[in-house]
A = this chain, B = another copy of it.
Amino acid sequence: MNSLKITTLVAAAAVTMTTFSMSSTAADRVYKLKMAETWTTNFPIFGDAPRNMARIANEMSNGRLKITIDSANKHKAPFGIFDMVRSGQYDIGHSASYYWKGKVANTLYFTTMPFGMTAPEQYGWFYEGDGMKLMEKVYKPFGLLSFPGGNTGMQMGGWFKKEINTVDDLKGLKMRIPGFAGEVLAKLGAKPTNIPPGELYTALERNTIDALEWVGPSLDLRMGFHKIAPYYYTGWHEPATELQFLVNERTWKRLPDDLREILRVSMKLSAYDMYIQSYHESGVNWATMKTDFPNIQVKTFPTPVLKAMKKANDELLAEAAAKDPLTKEILDSQKEYMKTARVWTNISDRAYLESLDSISE
C-alpha cells in the first residue's frame, strides 16, 4: 500500500477558494517577467544559468511564471543591466555585481575578490554568514534585490601576448580585467579596462588590449584567445566569481508568495548548478587542451609579482575601508569569514589532496 494520500476537496470550486486564498489569485494570473542578460544569445554556461532558471520556474509554477530572456544582441546594453532593471524596463537581470563598481562602489565586493574566498567558502559567507544581508544593504537603496547567479569556480589569470617575468612587465600593460583585480593592476602601473564578452577577441586581435582574463578552460578555449595570446596564467584574482540575478523590487513585491518562493528557489538552484557545470566543463576542457592546443603555455606568475599584487591589494582594501563605513563592514565580514573557513579548507580538501601525493609514488 502506498501512503500517498490524495485529499480531494468536495465541492471543489468554493472550498478551493477558501483553502487556497493565495492560489485563487495566483491561479488566475500569468506573470510575464522580462529578463535581460549581459551575455550574447546562447552563450554557454553563463547563459545556461538564466535559461535553466526560467525553465524550472515555468515548470514549477505550471506556466504561471513566464520569464523571457533578452540577450545583449537584442537590448544592446550588456553593461546596462543595473539601470534597465532599476528603471523597470526589465524585471530581472543576469550579470555580475562587480560590473557596477563605477556606479555604486560597494557592488564591487559581491562577485569575488583577489586573494579571497574559494567557491564553497564564499557560498558559506553568502548564505550562512552575513553576505546576503550586506548585499541587501548595498542594493536596497536602488530598489533592487541581488542574488547569487552562478559561480565559475577559480578563474585563470588570463591570456597574455608576452610573458610576465617581473613587476615592471605590468607597467603600461593594457588588460581587460574587471573588479577589484583591475584596481590592483592599475596600482602596479597597468591599464585595466572592461570590455563586453562579445568584443573581447577583436580587442585582443587589434591590440586594443595586450592581455585579458575571461574565465578559465570552461569558456576560454572556444573564444580562441590562445591563437593570439599563448601565455595562459593560473589564477590569483578571481577565486570564485559569482554571477548575479538582479530583481526589481516592485516586481518582487507584486508576485504572490508562492511565485516569489519559486523565483527565489529557481535562482538559487540554477546558480549552484552553474558552479557544478563550470567545474565539470573546466575539467573536460583542460583535459583536451594539451592535445588540441599544444601551443598554449601554462604559466604561474613569479612569486615577486604575486607578492606585489598582494601588497597592492591589501593597501587598496585598507584605503577603501577607510573611506566608507559600509565598505569597512563588508570587507571586515569577508576577512573574518575567510579566516575561519580557510582553516577548514586547508585541513579538509587541501590536506586530503596533498596526502594522496605521499601515497601515490
A-side residues, CB < 8 A to B, are 1-9, 12-13, 16, 19-20, 22-23, 26-34, 56, 59-64, 87-91, 115, 118-121, 123-124, 127-129, 153-154, 216-217, 234-236, 239, 248, 250-251, 254, 256-258, 261-262, 265-266, 268-269, 272-273, 275-277, 279-284, 286-287, 298, 300, 303, 306-307, 310, 340-356, 358-360
Interface of A is mostly: helix
Bound-state CA distance A20–B61 (Å) is 10
A300 near B351 with CB under 8 A, answer yes
Task: Give the Cβ gap from A13 to chain B, nearest Cβ, in Å.
Answer: 7
Bound-state CA distance A2–B348 (Å) is 48
Contacts of A275 in B (CB 8 A): 120
* Chain B, residue nearest A13 (CB): B13
B30 near A7 with CB under 8 A, answer yes
A303 near B350 with CB under 8 A, answer no
Choice from B19, B91, B359 contacting A3 with Cβ under 8 Å: B91
Contacts of A89 in B (CB 8 A): 1, 3
Known: A347-B234, A359-B310. A341 touches B269 (CB 8 A): no
Task: Give the Cβ gap from A119 to chain B, nearest Cβ, in Å.
Answer: 7
* Chain B, residue nearest A115 (CB): B356
Known: A279-B124, A307-B359. A62 touches B29 (CB 8 A): no
Copies in the complex: 2
Known: A283-B344, A359-B307. A352 touches B6 (CB 8 A): no
B353 near A345 with CB under 8 A, answer yes
Query: By CB atoms of chain B within 10 A, which of A31, A354, A359 has the most?
Result: A359
Bound-state CA distance A298–B344 (Å) is 13
Task: Give the Cβ gap from A222 to chain B, nearest Cβ, in Å.
Answer: 16
B355 near A306 with CB under 8 A, answer yes
Bound-state CA distance A20–B13 (Å) is 15
Contacts of A269 in B (CB 8 A): 265, 268-269, 272
* Chain B, residue nearest A307 (CB): B359
A258 near B129 with CB under 8 A, answer no
Known: A120-B276, A351-B234. A28 touches B16 (CB 8 A): yes
Task: Give the Cβ gap from A91 to chain B, nearest Cβ, in Å.
Answer: 6
Task: Give the Cβ gap from A22 to chain B, nearest Cβ, in Å.
Answer: 5
Known: A120-B279, A344-B282. A59 touches B261 (CB 8 A): yes
Contacts of A262 in B (CB 8 A): 60
Known: A276-B128, A340-B287. A282 touches B348 (CB 8 A): yes
